[in-house]
Structures are given as C-alpha cells and as structure tokens.
Structure 1
Amino acid sequence: MRRMLFATIIGCSAASAANAADVVSYEPAPPVAPVASVYDWSGLYIGAQGGWGWGDSNVDDNGLSSLDTTFDIDGGFLGGVVGAQWQYGSVVLGVEGEMNWSDISGTDEVQPGNVIGTDINWFGSANAKLGYAWDRVLLYGTGGIAFANIDTSQDALGTSFSEDENHVGWTVGAGLDYAVTDAIIVGAQYRYYDFGESDYLSRNATFTDRDQDVDLHTVSAHVSYKF
C-alpha cells in the first residue's frame, strides 16, 4: 500500500513539472526591420561652379548722338559658392553667396567701322533659398541681390574708348541638388540676373557719355562639400 502511494505521489509531481515547463515556454519575437535613415540637408557648405551665360546689353548716350543699340552677349564663367542651410521636416531654408570670373561679352557694329562692346569681368550675388527635400534630392528656388563689374567699349576709325563700372541689381533662379554622400553634393541651376543701369563717363572727347543696362541668363553645374 505504501509503495502504491509513493508511486502515485511521484507521478503527480512529474506531471506538474511537465505542465509548468509548458507554461514558461515561449516563441522568440520576430526581428525588427531597421528604419531607413533620411538625409539631413542642414549645415554649412562650400563649393565650385561653372557654366554658360547669355543675355542682352543696351547702350544709350541719351540722345547726344545716334548711339542707341541693344546686342547679344554670351560666354562662360567659373566661380565659387558658400552657404548655410537649415532643414525643418521636408522644408529647407538657406542663405548663399557666389562670386564668378566671367568671359561673357559681345559687340555690335552700329556703323561701318564703329563697334560697341560689352564685357562682364566678374559677377556675383547674395541670396536666400527655399527648397523641398525628398531624402537626398533637393528642389529649390533662390533670389537676391546681384552685382557685377562690366566694361563698355567703343572703337571708331582707330580711336578707342573703354570704361568699367560696378552694377547692382537683382537675381532669381531655381536648382536641383543631389547628395552623393553625406558630405558631397552635386547639382544644376538656372539663373536670371538684371544688373541694372550704370552711367559711363567718357574721358576721351571723341566719345559721348553713355548708360549701359545688362541682363543675363545662366545655366551651371556645381559640386559642394557640406560640413
């Protein structure tokens, strides 16, 4: 009798242990998928750019002679950019400055042997930017104050006149940037510049004083390093 009771107790203990093991067993949790990182456009940057420009130059001596002409100008340019950007969600705000060496020029023969010329020596701008980002792609608009050093010239029957003046006007444009790495950014941009009108005083009695008004379209590519 005692043996049967002892066997019963042992069996019940084993069954209880088995049930307890079933209670504490569990399936492992499924792995959590990694969250894709989103590029941050905030930061300072510095870079280089180059492109092509074309536009119009209007030269007028205000009725002092028959000098009143508008002609085409075009050529290449190279320069540098520096700026800063701040990202809020998908919206990117920024400021940027640029300065470019220019080979943009043009001439017009207003009379046989009488040639008028315009040459943009350098130009630049200080701008505000507003953009929208899709991860590593940024589409933006930009605009601000433009400035340039522009030369006007005239060559008539072997006698020449040349003067340069600083112009101040405005600019507006749009561009597209792509972050190749966290630090390297490449992009392309279109700009329109209106450099305004400036007075040129002749130091040669053969030529009259004149006004010159220059506007310019540009397309360019750039590469920047973001800190």
Structure 2
Amino acid sequence: MMKILLIATGAVSLAGLAHAGGFTTPVVEAAPVQPADTAPVPDWSGAYAGGNLNYGAGKAVATGDFGKSLAADGLNRNLAKPDGGALGLRAGYDWQFGRVVAGLGGEYSLGQYKSGLAGVYKGEYPGAEVKFGNVATVYTRAGYAFADNWMAYGLLGYSRADGKASGYGGSDSKTLDGLTMGLGVGYAFDRNWSAYGEYTYTDFGTIAGPSGDVKAELKQFQVGLNYRF
C-alpha cells in the first residue's frame, strides 16, 4: 500500500510540473564580445617650435671649362669641403588626416661650415678659407604616423646661404640658393614634446668664381627637439 501511495504522489507531482509548463532548459548567456583594441593615432597637428644640433658637410667642385681644365691636367676638381657643427632654430605648422601628416615650416642655422682649399689650390693658398653660413630654409613636408608615437616624413624646400672664399689676396662673397630635399623620423614623447632626426641635401647650383664656375652643395644631419602648442 505504501508503494502505491508513493507512486501516486510522484505521478501527481509530475502532472503538476507538466501543467505548469514542463521542464525548461537553462539558458546560458554568452559573454559580450569586446572589440579588439586599436592603437591610438598620435596627434601631430598644430603649431610647433624648437631647435636642433646639426653637422653640415659642404662641397665646392670646379665645373664647366674650369673643371675640364683641371681634369685634363690630372687634378682633382674638388676645391673645398667646408664642414662643421651648428645650432638650428625651427618653427612650423602641421595638419593631420588620419595617419597622414602634412605641414609647412622654416629653419635658420646659427653657425658656419668652413674649410681651407683642397686639391691643387691647397698648397698655393694655405691660408685660404671657404665658408657656407647663415643657412635659411623654408619647407613643406609630408609624413605618415606609422606606429604608436613614430612618424616618418619627406621634406622639400628652398634654402638660401652666404658663401665666402677668402685668403688669396682678397675675398669673394656670393649668395647661395637652391632646392633642398630631405628625409626624417620623429618620435612624440607626449602631446607637446617630440624629437626628430633628419638628413637634408641642398643643391646650390653653379656659381661664377674668380677662376671659373663652381658647383656648391651642402648635406646636413640634424637631431632636434620640438614643442607643439
């Protein structure tokens, strides 16, 4: 009799559950999918000003008939290689479009690159000196913020400088100007401060010298620091 009562009670309980809607499968909620983190794009936009330390290596090379006459005599056409260190001041403004950065700027180099004469003239005029100084450049640049706080860029501009040769019974001064091209890389410490390394090449073209035409050029290697406002 007891078994019959237990079976009947179980049947009633099952019937009650069925009447209430039956058994339900528990629902397991999936954790929300988090979007993958994307690296923040550094902000290179705005006005900036700063300075740099640079090393300049120039060259004055005989060209045209002057160069041909030296070559015909078996002489080196390199007349001088003015070089040295200088301090540069720089300011500009950048615009940013995603990771692409474009800007305008200007720089002035406080210093002179100088050397004595080379080649055939070195022995004839031991006290002579060639100088490139007061180099001023206006430029446009375009770059790409390729990783975290890094940017690589190319530079195109126009430079002007004072050129002077002296010590051979007088002196001769010329205004040098020409196209400047360069490559650089910048690193932003934060929104305001950034550092950069840069290489530029300036072709000053052909200059009429006392002995004939001379081609002048200048390479500059710079390490600098900028403050962005």
* Superposed displacement of residue 197, structure 1: 2.8
Q: Distance in 1 between matches of 2:99 and 2:179?
A: 28
Report the residue type matching 1:52 in the other structure.
Answer: Y
Matched with 1:11 is none
The partner residue of 2:125 within 114, 117, 127 is 114
For residue 157 of structure 2, give the secondary structure of its aligned residue in structure 1. Answer: strand
Deviation string 1:130-187 (CA, Å, 9 cap, x unpaired) is: 10003311100001111101111132xxxx3113221110110111101111101111
CA contact (8 A) 1:58 1:213 kept: yes
Matched with 2:220 is 218
For residue 108 of structure 1, give the secondary structure of its aligned residue in structure 2. Answer: coil
For residue 98 of structure 1, give the secondary structure of its aligned residue in structure 2. Answer: strand
Matched with 1:70 is 79
Matched with 2:74 is none
Q: Distance in 2 between matches of 1:112 and 1:39?
A: 56
Matched with 2:206 is 197
The partner residue of 1:39 within 34, 39, 42 is 42
Q: Which runs of 5+ in 2 are unaligned?
A: 1-28, 71-76
* Superposed displacement of residue 113, structure 1: 3.9
**Does the C-alpha gap of structure 1 residues 165 and 46 become closer, same or farther in structure 2, counting only changes over 3 Å?**
same
The partner residue of 1:137 within 132, 136, 150 is 150
Report the residue type matching 2:145 in the other structure.
Answer: A
Report the residue type matching 1:107 in the other structure.
Answer: G
Q: Distance in 1 between matches of 2:89 and 2:122?
A: 39
CA contact (8 A) 2:41 2:145 kept: no
Deviation string 1:7-41 (CA, Å, 9 cap, x unpaired) is: xxxxxxxxxxxxxxxxxxxx9x9797997643211
Q: How many residues matched?
A: 193
CA contact (8 A) 2:183 2:198 kept: yes
Q: Distance in 1 between matches of 2:111 and 2:79?
A: 20
Superposed, 1:1-227 pairs within 5 Å as 37-58=40-61, 70-108=79-117, 110=121, 112-115=123-126, 116-134=128-146, 135-155=148-168, 160-199=169-208, 208=210, 211-227=213-229
CA contact (8 A) 1:152 1:212 kept: no
Aligned-CA RMSD value: 3.3
Q: Calculate the TM-score normalised by the size of structure 1.
A: 0.72
**Does the C-alpha gap of structure 1 residues 35 and 213 become closer, same or farther in structure 2, counting only changes over 3 Å?**
closer
Q: Distance in 2 between matches of 1:144 and 1:81?
A: 13
CA contact (8 A) 2:182 2:198 kept: yes
Q: Which runs of 5+ in 1 are unaligned?
A: 1-26, 201-207
For residue 41 of structure 2, give the secondary structure of its aligned residue in structure 1. Answer: coil
Q: Distance in 2 between matches of 1:31 and 1:61?
A: 72
CA contact (8 A) 1:169 1:194 kept: yes
For residue 55 of structure 1, give the secondary structure of its aligned residue in structure 2. Answer: strand
Q: Distance in 1 between matches of 2:123 and 2:191?
A: 58
- Percent identity, please: 29
